[in-house]
Amino acid sequence: MTETIRNARAASLPAKLSRSWLLVNAAEEEIFTEAQISESDSVIFDLEASVSDDKKITARDNVVRALEGGMSAWVRINKMDSEFWDDDLAAIAMLPGLRGVMLPETERPEQVSYTAMRAKAGLPVIALLESAMGVENATKIAEAPGTFRLAFGTNDFRKDTGFSGDPMALAYARSRLTIASRMGGLPGAIDGPSAATASDEQVRNDAEVTHMMGMTGKLVLNVDQVVTLNESMSPSEDERDWARQLLEAAEGGSEITDGSYLPRLARAKKIASLASTYGLWNA
């Protein structure tokens, strides 16, 4: 029997609620275990951006061994028009540890559907939107069969459009992913990562922008940033206190006072549910 290596808390968390999505260079097999036992809600073995062409096959073999040997992860495969896309899917689609795939440079809905069909029935696909076309087609992509969540490739999007990294410059793109996710009935969108060298303060600031834009997950490049990111993407202590007070008042029979009461009560219940899922409600 294969021994499970993945962090038990993270492995039990539904991917629709994952806050941190740790990208791991698949060519560096020696860092796999650290990623697996980390507090990252989801781990993504990366066969694409972090791996040069001459190491693609070695990286793929590393992933196959890992997912056959007790590890559990998502896999960022290579883009659909690359020479590696088909072989990536053929190699990993039926592996026991595969959670789903991330499709880079998604620009059209049929790319997601075809990837899902090529892999296996029911395999979830995260569509990574990294261009102006991808962002403008976000709603169609969100509604495509096979799409599980949308993710924002901030660096490549900036390269494609010329935008700066300022949150105001990227606000339209982030809001498009949030609205499209809602239209497609998907979990919240996943934001791009902080810089690998970002301090804890910068990770918190970046996560605040993510949260403010209605996105509920974030890619992460450095395992040392995971705990800070998880804390920043969870309901805050102030939010938990507010929710607890409102729910206690509701249980005590408080009356509806205005038209905002029921929406506030629904938000309090959502905060309580998330906080409980993340182990924070009684913290």
Q: Residues annotated in the binding site, as ranges?
A: 76, 130, 156
What residue spans of the chain are helical by DSSP H? 8-11, 32-37, 56-68, 85-92, 109-119, 132-136, 138-142, 154-161, 171-183, 200-212, 226-232, 237-251, 261-277
The label of the residue with tokens 């007070």 reads 245
Cα end-to-end span (Å), the chain:
36
> Residue 126: beta bridge partners?
102, 149
Residues forming the annotated binding site for Mg(2+)? Answer: 130, 156
Instruction: Judge whether 147 and 125 are in contact, CB under 8 Å.
Output: yes
d(CA 91, CA 75): 11
Instruction: Judge whether 116 and 125 are in contact, CB under 8 Å.
Output: yes
Residues forming the annotated binding site for substrate? Answer: 76, 130
Helix (H, G, I), strand (E, B) or coil at 22: strand
For 125, the enclosing helix (H) or strand (E) is: strand 125-129
The alpha carbon of 191 is separated from its chain's Cα centroid by a whole number of angstroms, namely: 7
